[in-house]
Each structure stands twice: as structure tokens, then as C-alpha cells.
């Protein structure tokens, strides 16, 4: 792992030097703009470009640090750890020339979080349930937003161009709904400035957000690169256009028939995207939307993704923890908190992807998983209820990032025992007790010992455990809960957090 970390750091240095080669003017990385939020209680890297050998002086909050630009023209200082402050102050950078001075005003010190993933993280506050009202009431000068442009690249980039903004209607309504609710909750819970960095792109798999050296160096993941190279070599634009034309004709005929029969209309086909230019291609979003942010000081990351990997759930059990580890290596802040959302039930999402996320949580330190089995939508992969998602992530942050002793997860399967025809299921993270949703427990199935035939089962809560039975099963062998694409969570703890779906017969 040491060698992989060195390769990532090396790629960052090389990219910075390459970009700085011709541009010698004094500059700051694009994360440092007016209204920026700096992370409290950790050393704060500040970096940019200058003439080779030029001395650069950085001053903020009474602290001054100096650096000399390298032969490639890049420089970096580290400001000392600071306490949170809601006082807007200026950060200044000066070089050797009398007029070579950069000053950014309105800088705060507080909590900084990366907010990343695919479309459910990108999904705007304005498109979320109740989001327009939330945006109208959102004016908070101590909640700051930074939206990373949606760009892609095949080599690590060092430049990012955006702007920190205060949270108000015009800025928040087009920002990530999940991130907004997460940040708003943190502002209430922590009482310090909060900076949110949105870097998300709909429809993208985890490998797009992972550095190439990591995929190349992992025996089980290198196949992702090989498969992509083959897809690029095999792609034919004329053939893709021909197939698209045929698909359009078939769709048009199917749509006409569905309308005549008053059935649900089929989805319009999409034109095939050249794999060499797709945002789904390996590493391209890490290169362009994560790498330029490193090593901006952060508290942690929130993540909502997995839908685009649902057809490769077993691989995701390896890929996702490796991706998390690669970000931690790149930032060099140790195992910073990484909090993620388990995919909501949906008719197009197989249960194995939720299990892969559960496995990732179990084997990756300083992570937490927000379960949203109660807010999914059967026919929409984008649940509109983003407020509970953001709040559950903030609850997880309280425990994982800030060390609060509280219940931050719903019930998690621990062990099953069999007594006669009764399967007794026990849970961790039960909080102050298990409760059923209105209408009782649903979506439990049971298989007999030695059988793989699961049948609907009755489930009740008894003495803090769930007892599962079926008149068709004399001797239970395995229990499953929520093991389908679509279901609505019915098992909770008294703290109101839903249980993650599970199967006791998971292959080992």
C-alpha cells in the first residue's frame, strides 16, 4: 500500500509541474476563492504556482508561512491548525514583485466535506421533495457551497475553476439536495461554519472515480481497464448509429401499441456513447473532479453511488473499499470519515448491490452507511425525499467524525438460531429496541434446511428479536429480509432508523 500511495502522490506532483511549466504568474489553486471555508483543527495546505525559485508568503489569521516555488513552478505551505471561526477574514499570498499579491476575502474556518457520487448526489435541492421551500428559507452565510464543474480527463489534472458561495436561494436550489440537507443539519448540530464541495456526475460507476495506478495494481480490478480498452477498440460509430436507428423504430412501434392499450410507455432508447469519451470510463472523473481538490483540508466525504455498478455487485465489494482507500491515500489525512448511502429499493436495483455496500461498510474502517429502505420509489431510481438521507448522513457524521455516543444505524443482522420451526434472528444496532412499521413486519422469507426455495414468512418481534415462521417450513435453514429489487422497509429501531436488508445464507 505504501508504493501505491507514493505513486498517487507522484502523479499529483507531476501533473502540477506539467501545468505550471508555462504559467509562471503567481496563482492559487481554484479551491481558494472568496468565501472559502478552511478545515478546523488540522494543518491546512495552501498551494499554487509561481516563477521557479520565487519565494511565496501566505498569511491568514495571524499566521505566516513561506515557501519557494519548485523548478516546475509549484509551491505549497501548510497553515497551522486553527479553531473554527465565523469571522470573515482575508487570506493573502504575495510573491517577489511589488504588485504580485493575491487576497481572498471572507474566509471562514469550520468543517469541510466532499459530497460525491452519481445522480442521486447530483440531484438538486430544487428537484427534491419540499426542496423549493427549503431553498427559500436557506439563507445562511455560514453554510458555504462549492460546485466542481463536470469535466473528465484521461490524465490527472491540477486546476479546478469554481467559486465558493453563501447558502441562499439562488445558490442552494441548484446544489445537491442530499448535500444541502447534510450541511444544514451539521450547522445545527455543530454550530460552526460548514463548507460543502459537490463533485458528482450522474450515471457513473465507482471506477470512474478511482485512480488508474490503483486499478492497475489490483489483480481483481485490472480487468476493468482491460474491458474498457476492448470496448474502445471494438466501438464503431456507424454500427452504433445503425443500431440506434433500429432501436428508435422498435421504440416508436412499442410506444404506439402501449398507448393504444393504455399501458405504461416504454423508455426511449439512448444513443450509444463512444467509450473513449464517456464519463463512465475508468479514472476520468477522479482525474478531473477529485485530483484537483487534493490535498485541500477536509473533515471527510459523503457518497451516494452504486446504481451504475449494480450489475457487478460482487466486484463492487472489492472496488468500493479500494476506491475509498485511494482517496484517503491521496489526501494524506489518514482514514478520514467516509459516509455513504445504501441504494434505495427500486425495481431496477438488485439486492446484491445493497449487500455489497453493507459488506464494504463492515470491512472498511471509519465508514458508515445510511440506510434508506423506507424512502425508495418503485419506478423512480431518484427518490425525491432527500431530507431524511441528508439527516441520516449527518447522524452518522456525529458518531464517526465527531465521536458522539449515539445510535446512528438501523438494525443489522447479527445471528440466526433455530428452535423447532422458529428462526430467531438477532440484531446489532438495535438501539433502544426493535419496532415494526404500521401494518407489521413484511418482506421476510424462509427456506427449509438444505433448500434454496424461499417462501413468504410471518415475522414478529419478541423480546428484542425477530421470530420468523412459515407453515411450509418445518425446520428453518435460512431467512431473508427485503431480498428483492423493490420493497418498503418495515423493521426499525426505536430511534427511527430502518434495518438494512439481509440474507442469512450469504455465500462465504
Going by their DSSP bridges, the two strands 44-49 and 74-79 should be labelled as: antiparallel
Rounded Cα distance, 235 and 42, in Å: 48
Going by their DSSP bridges, the two strands 101-117 and 412-419 should be labelled as: unpaired
Residue pLDDT, tens place only, 378-400: 999 999 999 999 999 999 999 99
**CB of 171 within 8 A of CB of 183?**
no
Cα 372 vs. chain centroid, distance in angstroms?
14
Rounded Cα distance, 270 and 273, in Å: 9
Indicate whether 14 pLDDT > 80: no
Q: Is 86 helix (H, G, I), strand (E, B) or coil?
A: strand
**For residue 3, what pLDDT band results from cuts at 50, 70 and 90?**
very low
Residue pLDDT, tens place only, 426-484: 999 999 999 999 999 999 999 999 999 999 999 999 999 999 999 999 999 999 999 99
Burial 145-179 (b: 16+ CB within 10 A, else e): bbbbeebbbeebbbbbebebbbbbeebbbebbbbb
pLDDT of residue 339: 98
Strand partners, 78: 45
Q: Which of 332, 390, 335 is nearest to 196 (CA)?
A: 390
Rounded Cα distance, 325 and 331, in Å: 10
Of the chain, the percentage scoring pLDDT greater than 90 comes to 93
pLDDT of residue 99: 80
Residues 206-216: what's their mean pLDDT? 98
CA atoms within 13 A of residue 493's CA, in its CB half-sphere: 21
Least trusted range by pLDDT, from 23-27, 72-76, 149-153: 23-27
Order of strands, sheet of 502-503, starting from the edge strand that comes earlier in the sequence:
455-456, 444-448, 476-481, 502-503
**CATH number, span 2-19+108-215+281-400:** 3.40.50.1110
Query: 52 CB contacts (<8 Å, ≥6 apart)?
Result: 24, 69, 70, 71, 72, 73
Question: Could you give the C-alpha distances from 205 to 77, 236, 268, 312, 320, in angstroms and in order?
Answer: 34, 23, 22, 10, 10
DSSP-assigned letter for residue 290:
I
pLDDT of residue 5: 42
* Other C-beta atoms lying within 10 Å of the C-beta of residue 192: 18
Query: 453 CB contacts (<8 Å, ≥6 apart)?
Result: 447
Least trusted range by pLDDT, from 5-14, 62-71, 359-368, 459-468: 5-14
pLDDT of residue 1: 38
CA distance between the termini of the chain: 26
Q: Which three cell numbers stand for residue 233?
A: 477498440
**For residue 97, what pLDDT band results from cuts at 50, 70 and 90?**
confident
pLDDT of residue 415: 98
Indicate whether 2 pLDDT > 60: no
pLDDT of residue 10: 47
Look over the chain and give the mean of its residue pLDDT values, rounded to a whole number. 94
CA angle 304, 153, 213 (to 5 degrees): 80
**CB of 479 within 8 A of CB of 453?**
no
Burial 428-447 (b: 16+ CB within 10 A, else e): ebbbeebbeeeeebbbbbbb
**For residue 24, what pLDDT band results from cuts at 50, 70 and 90?**
confident
Strand partners, 468: 423, 459
Going by their DSSP bridges, the two strands 63-68 and 55-60 should be labelled as: antiparallel
Q: Which of 282, 244, 307, 33 is nearest to 148 (CA)?
A: 33
Residue pLDDT, tens place only, 213-267: 999 999 999 999 999 999 999 999 999 999 999 999 999 999 999 999 999 899 9
For 36, the enclosing helix (H) or strand (E) is none
Question: Could you give the C-alpha distances from 469 to 149, 413, 482, in angstroms and in order?
Answer: 53, 17, 16
pLDDT of residue 486: 98
Query: How many residues are given for the chain?
Result: 508
Q: Is 45 helix (H, G, I), strand (E, B) or coil?
A: strand
Query: 126 CB contacts (<8 Å, ≥6 apart)?
Result: 132, 135, 173, 174, 177
Amino acid at each position: 500500500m505504501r508504493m501505491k500511495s507514493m505513486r498517487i502522490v507522484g502523479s499529483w506532483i507531476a501533473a502540477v509541474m506539467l501545468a505550471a511549466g508555462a504559467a509562471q504568474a503567481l496563482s492559487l489553486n481554484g479551491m481558494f476563492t472568496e468565501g472559502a471555508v478552511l478545515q478546523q483543527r488540522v494543518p491546512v495546505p495552501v498551494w499554487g504556482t509561481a516563477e521557479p525559485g520565487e519565494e511565496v508568503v501566505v498569511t491568514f489569521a495571524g499566521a505566516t508561512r513561506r515557501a519557494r516555488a519548485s523548478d516546475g513552478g509549484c509551491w505549497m505551505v501548510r497553515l497551522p491548525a486553527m479553531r473554527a471561526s465565523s469571522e470573515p477574514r482575508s487570506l493573502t499570498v504575495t510573491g517577489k514583485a511589488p504588485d504580485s499579491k493575491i487576497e481572498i476575502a471572507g474566509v471562514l474556518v469550520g468543517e469541510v466535506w466532499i459530497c460525491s457520487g452519481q445522480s442521486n448526489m447530483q440531484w438538486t435541492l430544487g428537484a427534491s421533495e419540499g426542496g423549493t421551500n427549503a431553498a427559500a428559507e436557506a439563507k445562511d452565510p455560514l453554510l458555504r457551497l462549492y460546485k466542481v464543474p463536470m469535466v473528465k480527463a484521461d490524465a490527472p489534472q491540477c486546476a479546478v475553476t469554481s467559486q465558493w458561495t453563501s447558502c441562499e436561494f439562488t445558490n442552494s436550489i441548484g446544489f445537491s439536495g442530499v448535500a444541502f440537507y447534510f450541511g444544514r443539519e451539521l450547522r445545527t448540530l455543530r454550530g460552526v461554519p460548514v463548507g460543502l464541495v459537490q463533485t458528482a456526475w450522474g450515471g457513473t460507476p465507482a471506477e470512474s472515480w478511482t485512480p488508474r495506478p490503483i486499478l492497475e495494481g489490483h489483480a481483481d480490478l485490472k480487468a476493468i481497464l482491460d474491458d474498457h480498452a476492448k470496448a474502445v477498440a471494438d466501438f464503431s460509430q456507424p454500427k452504433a448509429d445503425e443500431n440506434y436507428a433500429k432501436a428508435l423504430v422498435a421504440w416508436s412501434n412499442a410506444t404506439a401499441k402501449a398507448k393504444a392499450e393504455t399501458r405504461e410507455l416504454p423508455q426511449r432508447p439512448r444513443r450509444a456513447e463512444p467509450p473513449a469519451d464517456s464519463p463512465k470510463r475508468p479514472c476520468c472523473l477522479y482525474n478531473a473532479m477529485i485530483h484537483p481538490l487534493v490535498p485541500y483540508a477536509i473533515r471527510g466525504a459523503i457518497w451516494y453511488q452504486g446504481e451504475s455498478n449494480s450489475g457487478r455487485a460482487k466486484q463492487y465489494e472489492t472496488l468500493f473499499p479500494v476506491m475509498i482507500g485511494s482517496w484517503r491515500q491521496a489526501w494524506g489525512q489518514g482514514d478520514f470519515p467516509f459516509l455513504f448511502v445504501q441504494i434505495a429499493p427500486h425495481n431496477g436495483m438488485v439486492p446484491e448491490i445493497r449487500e455489497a455496500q453493507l459488506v464494504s461498510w463492515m470491512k472498511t474502517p471509519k465508514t458508515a452507511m445510511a440506510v434508506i429502505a423506507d424512502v425508495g420509489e418503485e419506478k423512480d431510481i431518484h427518490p425525491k425525499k432527500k431530507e431524511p438521507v441528508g439527516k441520516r448522513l449527518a447522524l452518522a457524521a456525529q458518531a464517526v467524525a465527531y465521536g458522539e455516543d449515539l445510535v446512528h444505524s438501523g438494525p443489522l443482522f447479527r445471528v440466526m438460531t433455530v428452535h423447532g420451526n422458529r428462526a430467531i434472528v438477532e440484531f446489532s444496532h438495535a438501539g433502544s429496541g426493535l419496532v415494526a412499521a404500521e401494518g407489521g413486519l413484511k418482506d421476510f422469507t424462509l427456506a427449509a434446511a438444505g433448500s434454496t426455495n424461499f417462501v413468504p414468512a410471518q415475522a414478529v418481534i419478541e423480546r428484542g428479536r425477530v421470530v420468523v415462521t412459515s407453515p411450509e417450513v418445518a425446520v428453518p435453514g435460512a431467512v431473508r429480509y427485503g431480498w428483492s429489487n423493490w420493497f418498503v422497509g418495515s423493521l426499525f429501531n426505536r430511534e427511527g432508523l430502518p434495518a438494512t436488508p439481509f440474507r442469512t445464507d450469504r455465500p462465504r
